[in-house]
Amino acid sequence: MGGSGYAAQELVRLVAQHPHLRLGWILSRSHAGQSLSAVYPHLRGLVEGRFGSPDELVDLARSVGVIFLATPAGFAAEQAPALLERGAAVVDLSADFRLDDAGLYERVYGRPHPHPELLSQAAYGLPELFGAEVARSRLVANPGCYPTAALLALAPLAAQGLLAVERPVVVSATSGISGAGSQPGPMYHLPVATENVRPYGVPGHRHTPEMRLHLGRLLRAGAGAGTGAAGVELAFIPHLVPASRGILATCVAGLREPHDTDELTQRYAAFYREAPFVRVLPPPELPETKAVQGANFCDLAVRWDPGSRSAIVMAALDNLVKGASGQAIQNVNVLMGWDQTAGLMGAPLYP
């Protein structure tokens, strides 16, 4: 549901190559009744048929296994109970279930959550960090693209009690413009956006509380090894760059003790040993967004910077894959008990 956007396009591409999933219906308010190939020129000859109408959604919930909601804010919050009741599992790509606290949700989104009782039932679908939750849930809140990058970058430090929590963590990130969605606008018009870099949403981007919340959960989990700190301050500065896809998040975090780059790299590699989509790069390699283009990987590198007593952690992922639709498929794999890599090991498109 929400078939006109980039997340839906990418879901269609990924479902088409998945061994266990079969595409049932694609619903779209704006394109209901149109043929798929008129809207998605690249899918001609691969996926045929027409867009259905959102009116069919609740009925379909009885006959399908999984419903992906790639819908505007608020839609999933309203519709999820009816879908779950009828037996479908729901993966919500919007932000409606990412915050587990109704009060925080209201402060961030400016309206009360219509079904606050569901917030605690929703799993935060970052399987590398919260996979057990996902495995036992029927409602998955698919994380934001920036939080996916930042949390994978910072988790080994937070969960092992290494962070100096008295210093704010700084997350400076760039995103390709597909991250802003498929709706044209002056800032995304190619003549303006090419050869241009600009920050936006500073401060106060809605992904900031999402990052802080789940980073706090990791910190508390790591408290046995560390200080027991309850949270961490965080500055998040997103930027648009002239590319279609790709997030590069650079995180600077004070650590409680000096480390060195090799030791930190080994910690990261150990932390993600069971995580096939997280590739920890050996020095001197550094992530680049093109190396994950079209694929479900998140590439990480960590450096100890003695000049600022900080760990610098850099993460690259494709915002439409690991940052959205690929992760949604990965969540379904976990939810269904399939191999989490099923249908997701296609190689990145490079160069």
A 10 A CB-CB count for 27 gives 23
280 and 265 Cβ atoms separated by less than 8 Å? yes
Strands (E) located in 223-335: 234-240, 247-254, 278-280, 298-305, 310-317
Q: Is 186 in the site for its own copies (CB under 8 A)?
A: yes
Q: Is 50 in the site for its own copies (CB under 8 A)?
A: no
Nearer of residues 38 and 132 to its own copies, judged by Cβ:
38
d(CA 89, CA 80): 9
**Could you tell me the CA-to-CA distances from 27 to 16, 18, 67, 92, 267 in Å, in that order?**
16, 20, 11, 14, 44
d(CA 202, CA 217): 24
Nearer of residues 22 and 136 to its own copies, judged by Cβ:
22
211 and 171 Cβ atoms separated by less than 8 Å? yes
Q: Which of 11, 26, 31, 40 binds its own copies (CB under 8 A)?
A: 40
Nearer of residues 40 and 268 to its own copies, judged by Cβ:
40
Site for its own copies, residues 316 to 335, rule: CB under 8 A: 316
Residue 138 identity = R
Q: Is 241 in the site for its own copies (CB under 8 A)?
A: yes
Q: Which of 42, 62, 111, 273 binds its own copies (CB under 8 A)?
A: 42
- Smallest gap from Cβ 85 to its own copies, in A, equals 33
- Smallest gap from Cβ 224 to its own copies, in A, equals 26
Catalytic residue among 12, 76, 93, 145: 145
From the list 42, 29, 254, 100, the residue with the least C-alpha distance to 162 is 254
Q: Which of 1, 3, 6, 148 binds its own copies (CB under 8 A)?
A: 6
Nearer of residues 82 and 235 to its own copies, judged by Cβ:
235
A 10 A CB-CB count for 9 gives 22
**Tokens standing for residue 153:** 């970058």
Nearer of residues 18 and 115 to its own copies, judged by Cβ:
18
Q: Is 257 in the site for its own copies (CB under 8 A)?
A: no
Q: Which of 165, 177, 329, 344 binds its own copies (CB under 8 A)?
A: 177
Q: Is 289 in the site for its own copies (CB under 8 A)?
A: yes
Q: Is 134 in the site for its own copies (CB under 8 A)?
A: no
**Tokens standing for residue 4:** 């006109």
Q: Which of 8, 76, 312, 334 binds its own copies (CB under 8 A)?
A: 312
Q: Is 182 in the site for its own copies (CB under 8 A)?
A: yes
Nearer of residues 122 and 245 to its own copies, judged by Cβ:
245
**Could you tell me the CA-to-CA distances from 142 to 68, 149, 350 in Å, in that order?**
10, 13, 27
Q: Is 305 in the site for its own copies (CB under 8 A)?
A: yes
Tell me phi and psi for residue 107, to 5 degrees.
-65, -40
- Smallest gap from Cβ 202 to its own copies, in A, equals 5
76 and 92 Cβ atoms separated by less than 8 Å? yes
Stretch that binds its own copies, among 122-130, 155-163, 222-230, 248-256 (CB under 8 A): 248-256
d(CA 209, CA 106): 12
**Could you tell me the CA-to-CA distances from 238 to 52, 152, 261 in Å, in that order?**
35, 17, 26
**Tokens standing for residue 147:** 């939080």
Residue 142 identity = N
Q: Assign residue 139 a region: left if phi > 0, alpha if psi is -120 to 50, beta otherwise?
A: beta
Site for its own copies, residues 105 to 124, rule: CB under 8 A: none
Query: Is 298 annotated as catalytic?
Result: no
- Smallest gap from Cβ 275 to its own copies, in A, equals 10
Q: Which of 28, 79, 174, 327 binds its own copies (CB under 8 A)?
A: 174
Q: Is 178 in the site for its own copies (CB under 8 A)?
A: yes
- The count of residues interacting with its own copies (CB under 8 A) is 93
Q: Is 172 in the site for its own copies (CB under 8 A)?
A: yes
Q: Is 268 in the site for its own copies (CB under 8 A)?
A: no
Active-site amino acid positions: 145
